[in-house]
A and B are shown apart, each in its own frame.
Chain A
Amino acid sequence: MEAIATAVLALAGIAALLGWVLSLAASRLPAARDTIAERIDAALPQTQCAQCGYPGCRPYADAIATGEADIDLCPPGGETLVRVLADMLGRELKTSGSAVGVLRPPVVAVIHESACIGCTFCMEACPVDAIVGAHRQMHTVLESTCTGCELCVAPCPVDCIEMMPVARGRSGWNRPPPQAVAGGIHDAGH
């Protein structure tokens, strides 16, 4: 009987001591450098397009990290991103999400400058400062900086912003994928 009491007391003592050490470590030592939200943010495509319903990539990353948002709401990231996030977070692979599966070709915003009235609404909407101009002066889009997020299109009161496919010429040309091999185990999806 005494032996049991000693064992129980000893174990309880060790547990209390370790618990105290752990709680001390948690409060004193610096947290891991990359928080989960940062890691998610690093995986997001950074178009800042807000198509997920959050005002940018970082807010969406925070929402995923807290469990508030699903992992399949990012159209620019597409299915690849869903896979990466599912893998990272140990969540179920969802491909039914609102915005997955449609991979559109890259676009940039173009302001029809003759129609622009210089209201600066689009400049305020642009998440990456890709629109230059001034009040009552014509605005224009810096093509190399535009992420094609379309956030500037809706605020324009005169509808002079259009999304245009990126013209990249020969230097931007990519070879098409080789034709799939017919028959055999390839078709079985291995």
Chain B
Amino acid sequence: MTQDTRPPDTVPQKQWPIRGGLMLPPHKEISRNQSILNASLPATVTLPVQQHVGAPAQPVVQTGDKVLTGQLIASAQGNISGSVHASISGTISHVGAAPVPHASGLDGLCITIQSDGKDVRCAESTPVDDYPSLDPVALRSLIADAGIVGLGGAVFPTAVKIEAGRSAGIETLLINGAECEPYITCDAALMRERADEIISGAQILLHALEVERCIIALERDVPKSLEAIERAISASADGRLELVTVPTIYPAGGEKQLIQALTGREVPSGGLPHDVGFVCQNVATAAAVARRVHTGEPLISRIVTCTGSGVAEPRNLEVRLGTPIAELVAQCGGYTTDVARLIIGGPMMGFAVPSDELPVTKVVNCVLAATRAEIGVEKTTMPCIRCGDCARVCPANLLPQQLYWHIRAGDFENTRKFDLFDCIECGCCDYVCPSHIPLVEHYRYAKGQIRSLDEMARNAEVAKQRSEHKSARTLKDDEAYDSQLEEKKQAVRDAASGGGGKDIIEAAIRRAKHNK
């Protein structure tokens, strides 16, 4: 499925085709039509201190402490990090390692709260009534303190992104409502039901970014969400906001792909959207910003799509962070009998998890309970036949098979030359590979290897310098010792030849007696 099979542009604004991509069966109707359900309050929440890209937050509470909903429990550390807030009120029952949703399956530091059932709000963070009067710098730190991170799946701290965009001198805010991965409908539901919140969030972000133009991008296959956003924009009567639609193509929702579709400009290799004048924020992130400003509530909940043929009543739920996945599934009517696999994220970019006891974190946009039929039969991997289908669908314009061969050969240096790090791991190459080679898995593996090789090289350089310093120092010490020794010997020889030998001996005897 190449560019030729795409539907023709039907909207007036000029657009450019994105490279590669796929038209995938959407499977969105399963979860789309129900309204967002407010999930019931969990009895216990488990909140990992790292739910974002960057440094883990530092816990500021101890076991036994009483906390209120929205209270800071772990504070951001360093430049790139995100704070964590209590998502229910109650008592801290545990601060320590617990299973977290991560592809490694390794435990992470978590804070567990036992609910008191009252959900008492913390009065610490107060609403901002008149944000335009607020200094953009103060607004950015407000967003940072609320623990808001990119809710589209990258979980990059929002305030850091704004700051970087501002220093790069960007001109346009791009609100990303193009939810391109199959099955996931949480953004569509949010846009349909809370369009005002998104628009207000976009206006606040414009103020924080100090720019005057905002593009809100949606896919064409979500008419109800489109209508709601359109209505909200005209209600706001804000000339800075602009709505555009993009074709329903996976992965048109990737920020780099979206920018390419809207401007024809490619984000340079190794670069970021702000290099071409954009900062991209997900619709849910904008809504979270609006919520913080208007109600004072930090990021303590998110909308999660609980879907797949493995759950009885798939739908979208607003869930407090830290809620066990099992409780979500229970509120969607439980599992069907033929459920086979639990996936966090969508079918293309998500990862399978071993247990439904794992908590919902800021990154969890979708819980996909797949049946055997949905997974399909496990296909045997066959040798690469160099057909080139992967290169045709790659949205990043890479050569997937070439990368694959280099990785197989352990030649990581060459994969870097073939721009491995521009791979967005969308999975299009996997999908079309007639030999069913798990290509993205190879790329993820190689990225990890290259990162640790780079780290080793850095460490080696440091070790080399330290070793050189040490040998130089040792050499200097030895020389100093030798010359001192030589000086003393010379002094003794001079004294002996000059006839003053007796004086020296007497002085030594006096010293010895004195010391006694």
A in complex with B: yes
28 chain-A/chain-B pairs, Cβ below 8 angstroms: A41-B464, A45-B456, A47-B460, A47-B463, A48-B463, A56-B467, A57-B464, A58-B468, A127-B463, A127-B470, A128-B467, A128-B470, A129-B466, A145-B462, A173-B104, A173-B448, A174-B449, A175-B441, A178-B438, A178-B445, A181-B382, A182-B380, A182-B381, A183-B382, A184-B382, A185-B383, A186-B383, A186-B408
Within 8 A of B (CB), among A138-188: 145, 147, 169-170, 172-179, 181-186
Q: Which residues of A contact B50 (CB under 8 A)?
A: 170
> In the assembled complex, which residues on chain B have CB atoms less than 8 Å from the CB atom of A172?
452
With A45-B460, A177-B445 as contacts: A145 and B452 at CB distance below 8 Å: no
- A118-142 CB contact bits vs B (8 Å, 1 = yes)? 0000000011111000000000000
Q: Does A46 sit at the interface, judged by CB under 8 A?
A: yes
Q: List B contacts of A186 (CB < 8 A).
A: 383, 408
B408 CB contacts on chain A under 8 angstroms: 186
In contact, A57 and B467 (Cβ under 8 angstroms): yes
Expressed in whole angstroms, the minimum distance between the Cβ of A61 and any Cβ of chain B is: 11
Q: Report which residue of B380, B448, B461 has the largest number of chain A beta carbons within 10 angstroms of its beta carbon.
A: B448
Chain A residues near B507 (CB-CB < 8 A): none
* Interface SS of A by simple majority: loop
Main secondary structure of the interface of B (DSSP, over half): helix
Contact yes or no, B103 A175, CB < 8 A: yes
Bound Cα distance from A129 to B467, whole angstroms: 7
CB distance from A169 to the nearest CB of B (A): 7
Q: Is the CB of B108 within 8 A of A170?
A: yes
> A177 vs B445: C-alpha distance in the bound complex, in angstroms?
6
Q: Considering the chains assembled together, what is the distance between the CA atoms of A184 and B380 in angstroms? A: 12
Shortest A172–chain B CB gap in Å is: 8
State whether B383 touches A184 (Cβ < 8 A): yes
CA of A186 to CA of B451, assembled, Å = 26
Bound complex: CA A145 to CA B442 (Å): 31
Name which residue of chain A comes closest to B55, CB basis: A171
In the bound complex, what is the Cα–Cα distance between A177 and B463 (angstroms)?
Answer: 29
When distances are taken between beta carbons in the complex, the residues of chain A under 8 Å from B451 are 174
Answer yes or no: B161 CB below 8 A from chain A CBs.
no
B226 at the binding interface (Cβ < 8 Å): no
Contact of A170 among B104, B381, B383, B444 (CB under 8 A): B104
Q: Which residues of B in the span 465-480 have a Cβ within 8 Å of any Cβ on A? A: 466-471
Are B108 and A128 closer than 8 Å at their CB atoms? no
Contact flags B286-302 to A (C-beta < 8 A → 1, else 0): 00000000000000000
B56's nearest neighbour on chain A, judged by CB, is: A171
In the bound complex, do residue B471 and residue A181 qualify as a contact, i.e. CB atoms below 8 Å apart?
Answer: no
A173 to B448, CA, bound (A): 8
Complexed CA–CA distance, A177 and B108 (Å): 23
| A46-B461, A170-B102, A181-B382 given; A145·B466 CB < 8 A | yes
Q: Contact at B437–A181, with CB atoms within 8 Å?
A: yes
With contacts A45-B456, A178-B441 taken as known, whether A173 is within 8 angstroms of B467 at the C-beta atoms is no
Is B444 a contact of A175 with CB atoms below 8 Å?
yes
Q: Is A46 in contact with B471, judged by CB distance below 8 angstroms?
A: no
A46 touches B463 (CB 8 A): yes
Given the complex, which residues of A lie within 8 Å of B468, measured CB to CB? Answer: 58
19 additional A-B residue pairs with CB within 8 Å, beyond A48-B467, A174-B448: A47-B463, A48-B464, A58-B467, A127-B466, A128-B466, A129-B470, A170-B106, A173-B106, A175-B103, A175-B444, A175-B445, A176-B445, A178-B442, A178-B445, A181-B381, A181-B382, A181-B383, A181-B437, A183-B383
